[in-house]
Amino acid sequence: MTDRDVHDVKLLKRDFTSPVSVDFVWDGDPPAQLPPPSGIVLLQTARMNHELSFGFVASGASEAVPLQPDEYTIDVHWINPGWYVKDIMCGGRSTLHGAALLGGAESCGSLRIVLAHDGGSLALRVADRDGNPIPDAYVAIIPESAASTEAEMSAAMTFGQTAANGVYSATSLQPGKYRILATNETIDLASNRVDKLWLAQSRAQEVEIGPNANVQLKLEPQPLR
């Protein structure tokens, strides 16, 4: 303190954290022989990442995570085979393919991650018109329920490349309808490629994957234009 005015004073913002509860819930009782789920929850903002590892043997497990107030996207990775994320809720609203405001007075509340165990699988064979397998072809698996916008599509889709035998396999897919597309062009999350994939959905093969179903499909590659 002084007896005169002070000019050009810089105040530094201090980041405060507050605990956010992350609750894990099973959607029904799993088979006794199925290993319990485990993995990593990745909470991301434009300026930081926060990882939370989980592994438990009963529904209802909970973790308290200190977070700075911000809007977070929530991704769950490396769940044991047989499990998938059915929904992520915060304040009664699904944030499965969106973002949640967490931490601080305006937080939507606790995160509720619902894990299910009735996922189906897809074996996709990519071949040319003569039936010859195409290795390293790109495959996109897009849930019909999560394709209302390009951002939602990119957050929800599964993509990868075929093996030497032209086959790409995906397991633990949530039961529902999907659009499946194979191409010789690169598929990734770059904005220009997401734009092309969005427009190419009209040429995708529609397929429905039931609970615990094993679906096999053969496709020819399509151009993304």
Q: What is the pLDDT of residue 7?
A: 64
Per-residue pLDDT tens over the stretch 155-182: 889 999 999 999 999 999 999 999 999 9
Which pTM value belongs to this model?
0.81
Q: What is the pLDDT of residue 186?
A: 95
Per-residue pLDDT tens over the stretch 85-135: 999 999 989 998 888 999 888 899 999 999 999 999 999 999 999 999 999
Q: What is the pLDDT of residue 31?
A: 86
* Superfamily name with CATH number, domain 120-219: Immunoglobulins (2.60.40.10)
Q: What is the pLDDT of residue 10?
A: 57
Per-residue pLDDT tens over the stretch 13-30: 555 788 899 999 999 888
Please indicate whether the domains covering 18-116 and 120-219 agree at the CATH topology level: yes
Per-residue pLDDT tens over the stretch 29-67: 888 888 888 888 999 887 778 888 888 767 888 888 888
Q: What is the pLDDT of residue 12?
A: 47
Q: Where are the domains of the chain?
A: 18-116, 120-219
Query: What dotted CATH number matches 18-116?
Result: 2.60.40
Residue found under tokens 């438990």: 56
